[in-house]
């Protein structure tokens, strides 16, 4: 290996650094280091003028590694990588050392120590630069097609949007019919739209769009490949198998509905229904409004059934949509028969945003709201001949005990994760502690999963209203479209590499990899492991587990890390 020529540039940051760190001292000490050909000082390294100076320096001195000691790489790593590239240097041979946040700003009280620390850190950077090697981002081509799993409203709308962008879409639905949970609904909150009509109009647009293939009664059997190039085997109607190549996958499998345990708030009694059962009844009833042949005079709603529990039973989370759905249902009921008395036993009414108007409407139409606490939940008992009796403590009237005879109790039940264990297994989908699919980050990457190229949308991610499900479906469209429309996938080059001469083929690392990126490979010299770069995230679990030091992350090799530690210590 020829001797590297390294340029080190110390930034004053207009005083931000040089007021506390003796930059000239740092420069002098670094100039003495082996391989350091150039050691300079910039007033502002990030300014155009300084960048041009450094570019000239790199070219004139034929530098093949540079260190800039300035601010946090969060700020200017990309700036200087781009500069290195303009100078003809591989951007990964640029090393940034943070002597602002970590030295001058942190140690304003002790300038000597700040300077000494800066010298150590820059030495460490030089040690890294000495061993740096040119790396190229991994570029993959992406299939111009997307699979959408789950043809509920979110999935259908997502498929349509992608189809309209000219992307081939395979819309895969497990049920015999598309439409998900709303297809039979007559009136949905907040605007009383018909679920049936929504589904039908979307289906019409999907059929009219030539890019969307709909599979119903279909099941996912197997997934191979990685982002940009997935190969997915599906089975339709339990017999016909098809293999599809797609660049990305959107999972929009929806949610299930909480089923109360027997006896929970009287569940199991004939006049105790879940909200969904009651809405079914409302949807199917015509002008008369009867239950078991009897006219309904009073309805009691019990909210948060199976949600917001603090104990071991039930779910801790709030199901988000149920308050609004319940008050909307109450408004509908008032409209069907204004003489029906409606009593709501709630904990907090969460009709957030504009849904608040539904709550007002229910109040205006005569709904009565009573607040119960978790300590004294309402008790539902059957009264022979006259229906049900509900007994509760109303916190709004000084925890007075209220007794109410009612013909119907509606349990406002929340959402639960759908049954997806097979899909989770095949797609390696990350699942949160509640059983819903997990995004990478709720704010930064809300529809992306740790599996590159696999996106989640709708209520499979957590309770959502219908419109919110569609919104997240469309967000997943945007993310997947950027992948398949550009046709390219760029991955960071910081992936694991196998030093085959050291690998004993023990296979310990394979199980340590959460992404399934490591596999066995037979070679003439024996069995070793190999890395599928497109699956590797470079997180390094395999590096730590390997006893032979036969694995390392590119750009963070064992030699390099050791040299850096030595430079810091020396």
Q: Which of residues 149-208 bind another protein (CB under 8 A)?
A: 153, 157, 161, 164-166, 188, 190-191, 193, 198, 202
Q: Least separation, in Å, of the C-beta of 307 and another protein?
A: 8
Total residues at interface with another protein (CB under 8 A): 77
Over the window 359 to 378, marking each residue x when it contacts another protein by CB under 8 A and - when it does not, the resulting string is -x----------x-------
Which two tokens mark 569?
A: 């210590």
Q: Least separation, in Å, of the C-beta of 47 and another protein?
A: 5
For the sheet with 6-11, list strands across it: 36-42, 6-11, 65-70, 94-98
* Residue closer to another protein, measured from CB, 295 or 488: 488
* Residue closer to another protein, measured from CB, 59 or 74: 74
Q: Least separation, in Å, of the C-beta of 555 and another protein?
A: 19
Backbone region of residue 159 per phi and psi (left: phi > 0; alpha: psi in -120 to 50; beta: other values): alpha
Q: Which stretch binds another protein (CB under 8 A): 87-95, 169-177, 476-484, 532-540?
A: 476-484
* Residue closer to another protein, measured from CB, 106 or 499: 106
Footprint of another protein on 480-539 (CB under 8 A): 481-482, 485-486
List of residues 6+ apart from 300 with CB closer than 8 A? 342, 343, 344, 345, 378, 388, 390, 404, 406, 408, 409, 410
| 275 binds another protein, rule: CB under 8 A | no
Neighbours of 375 (CB within 10 A): 8
For residues 141 and 226, the answer to whether their CB atoms sit within 8 Å is no
* Residue closer to another protein, measured from CB, 219 or 356: 356
Distances from the Cα of 441 to the Cα of 360, 447, 458, angstroms: 35, 8, 16
* Residue closer to another protein, measured from CB, 217 or 257: 257
How many Å apart are CA 557 and CA 132, to the nearest integer? 9
Q: Least separation, in Å, of the C-beta of 353 and another protein?
A: 5
Q: Which of 20, 230, 278, 355 binds another protein (CB under 8 A)?
A: 355
Which two tokens mark 543?
A: 């590096």
Q: Least separation, in Å, of the C-beta of 2 and another protein?
A: 33
Helix (H) or strand (E) holding 335: helix 322-336
Footprint of another protein on 390-409 (CB under 8 A): 395-399
Of 568, 490, 498, 499, which Cα lies nearest the Cα of 534?
490
> Positive or negative CA dihedral for 325, 331, 334, 336?
negative
**Tell me, what DSSP letter sits at residue 252?**
-
* Residue closer to another protein, measured from CB, 378 or 557: 378
Q: Which of 131, 291, 475, 499 binds another protein (CB under 8 A)?
A: 475
Q: Least separation, in Å, of the C-beta of 85 and another protein?
A: 12
Q: Which stretch binds another protein (CB under 8 A): 171-179, 277-285, 305-313, 559-567?
A: 305-313
Q: Least separation, in Å, of the C-beta of 532 and another protein?
A: 24
* Residue closer to another protein, measured from CB, 93 or 307: 307
How many Å apart are CA 63 and CA 65, to the nearest integer? 6
Of 155, 114, 143, which Cα lies nearest the Cα of 25?
114
Q: Least separation, in Å, of the C-beta of 89 and another protein?
A: 18
Angle formed by the axes of helices 153-164 and 195-208, nearest 10°: 30
Q: Least separation, in Å, of the C-beta of 489 and another protein?
A: 11
| 446 binds another protein, rule: CB under 8 A | yes
Report the Cα 207 to chain-centroid distance in Å.
Answer: 30
How many Å apart are CA 300 and CA 294, to the nearest integer? 16
Q: Least separation, in Å, of the C-beta of 553 and another protein?
A: 21
Q: Which of 1, 2, 48, 286 binds another protein (CB under 8 A)?
A: 48
* Residue closer to another protein, measured from CB, 166 or 366: 166
Alpha helical stretches, state H, 36-169: 48-61, 73-86, 111-131, 153-164
* Residue closer to another protein, measured from CB, 250 or 411: 250
3-class secondary-structure state, position 32: coil
| 353 binds another protein, rule: CB under 8 A | yes
Distances from the Cα of 372 to the Cα of 185, 305, 397, angstroms: 30, 12, 11
* Residue closer to another protein, measured from CB, 269 or 471: 471
* Residue closer to another protein, measured from CB, 201 or 261: 201
| 247 binds another protein, rule: CB under 8 A | no
Q: Which stretch binds another protein (CB under 8 A): 330-338, 458-466, 537-545, 550-558?
A: 458-466
List of residues 6+ apart from 518 with CB closer than 8 A? 496, 509, 510, 529, 530, 531, 532, 542
Q: Which stretch binds another protein (CB under 8 A): 227-235, 273-281, 314-322, 326-334?
A: 314-322
Over the window 87 to 116, marking each residue x when it contacts another protein by CB under 8 A and - when it does not, the resulting string is ------------------------------
Footprint of another protein on 420-439 (CB under 8 A): 436
Footprint of another protein on 9-28 (CB under 8 A): 13-16
Q: Which stretch binds another protein (CB under 8 A): 107-115, 474-482, 498-506, 518-526?
A: 474-482
Of 78, 83, 91, which Cα lies nearest the Cα of 42?
83
Distances from the Cα of 398 to the Cα of 18, 331, 401, angstroms: 66, 28, 9
Q: Least separation, in Å, of the C-beta of 462 and another protein?
A: 4
How many Å apart are CA 95 and CA 112, to the nearest integer? 24
Measured in degrees and rounded to the nearest 5, phi and psi for residue 567 equal -65, -40
């Amino acid at each position: 290996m020829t001797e590297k020529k390294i340029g080190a540039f110390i930034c004053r940051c207009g005083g931000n650094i040089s007021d506390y760190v003796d930059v000239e001292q740092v420069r002098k000490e670094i100039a003495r280091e082996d391989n350091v050909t150039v050691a300079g000082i910039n007033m502002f390294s990030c300014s155009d003028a300084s960048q041009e100076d450094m570019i000239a320096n790199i070219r004139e001195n034929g530098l093949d590694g540079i260190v800039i000691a300035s601010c946090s790489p969060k700020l200017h790593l990309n700036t200087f990588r781009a500069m290195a590239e303009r100078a003809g240097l591989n951007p990964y041979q640029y090393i940034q050392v943070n002597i602002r946040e970590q030295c001058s700003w942190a140690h304003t009280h002790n300038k000597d120590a700040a300077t000494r620390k800066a010298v150590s850190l820059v030495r460490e950077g030089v040690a890294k630069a000495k061993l740096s090697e040119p790396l190229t981002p991994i570029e993959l081509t992406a299939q111009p097609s997307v699979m959408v799993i789950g043809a509920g409203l979110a999935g259908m709308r997502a498929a349509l949007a992608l189809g309209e962008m000219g992307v081939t879409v395979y819309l895969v639905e497990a049920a015999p019919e598309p439409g998900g949970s709303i297809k039979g609904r007559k009136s949905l909150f907040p605007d009383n739209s018909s679920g049936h009509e929504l589904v039908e109009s979307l289906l019409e647009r999907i059929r009219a769009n030539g890019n969307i293939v709909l599979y119903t009664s279909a099941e996912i059997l197997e997934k191979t490949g990685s982002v940009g190039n997935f190969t997915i085997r599906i089975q339709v109607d339990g017999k016909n198998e098809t293999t599809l190549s797609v660049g990305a996958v959107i999972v929009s499998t929806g949610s299930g509905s909480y089923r109360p345990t027997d006896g929970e708030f009287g569940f199991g009694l004939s006049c105790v229904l879940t909200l969904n059962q009651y809405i079914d009844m409302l949807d199917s009833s015509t002008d008369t409004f009867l239950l078991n042949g009897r006219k309904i005079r009073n309805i009691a709603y019990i909210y948060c059934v199976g949600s917001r529990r603090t104990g071991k039973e039930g779910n801790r989370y709030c199901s988000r949509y149920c308050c609004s759905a319940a008050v909307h249902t109450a408004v509908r009921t008032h409209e069907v028969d204004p003489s029906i008395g409606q009593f709501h036993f709630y904990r907090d009414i969460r009709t957030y945003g504009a849904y608040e108007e539904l709550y007002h409407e229910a109040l205006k139409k005569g709904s009565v709201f009573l607040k119960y606490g978790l300590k004294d939940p309402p008790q539902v008992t059957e009264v022979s001949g006259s229906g049900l009796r509900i007994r509760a403590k109303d916190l709004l009237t000084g925890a007075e005990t209220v007794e109410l005879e009612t013909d119907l109790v509606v349990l406002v039940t929340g959402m639960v994760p759908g049954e997806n264990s097979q899909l989770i297994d095949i797609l390696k989908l990350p699942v949160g502690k509640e059983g819903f699919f997990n995004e990478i980050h709720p704010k930064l990457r809300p529809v992306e999963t740790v599996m590159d190229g696999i996106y989640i949308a709708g209520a499979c991610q957590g309770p959502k209203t219908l419109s919110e499900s569609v919104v997240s479906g469309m967000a997943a469209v945007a993310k997947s479209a950027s992948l398949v429309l550009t046709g390219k996938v760029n991955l960071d080059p910081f992936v694991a590499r196998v030093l085959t001469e050291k690998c004993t083929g023990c296979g310990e690392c394979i199980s340590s990899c959460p992404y399934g990126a490591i596999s066995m490979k037979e070679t003439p010299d024996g069995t070793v492991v190999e890395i599928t770069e497109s699956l590797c995230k470079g997180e390094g679990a395999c590096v730590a587990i390997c006893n032979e030091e036969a694995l390392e992350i590119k750009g963070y090799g064992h030699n390099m890390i050791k040299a850096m530690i030595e430079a810091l210590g020396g």
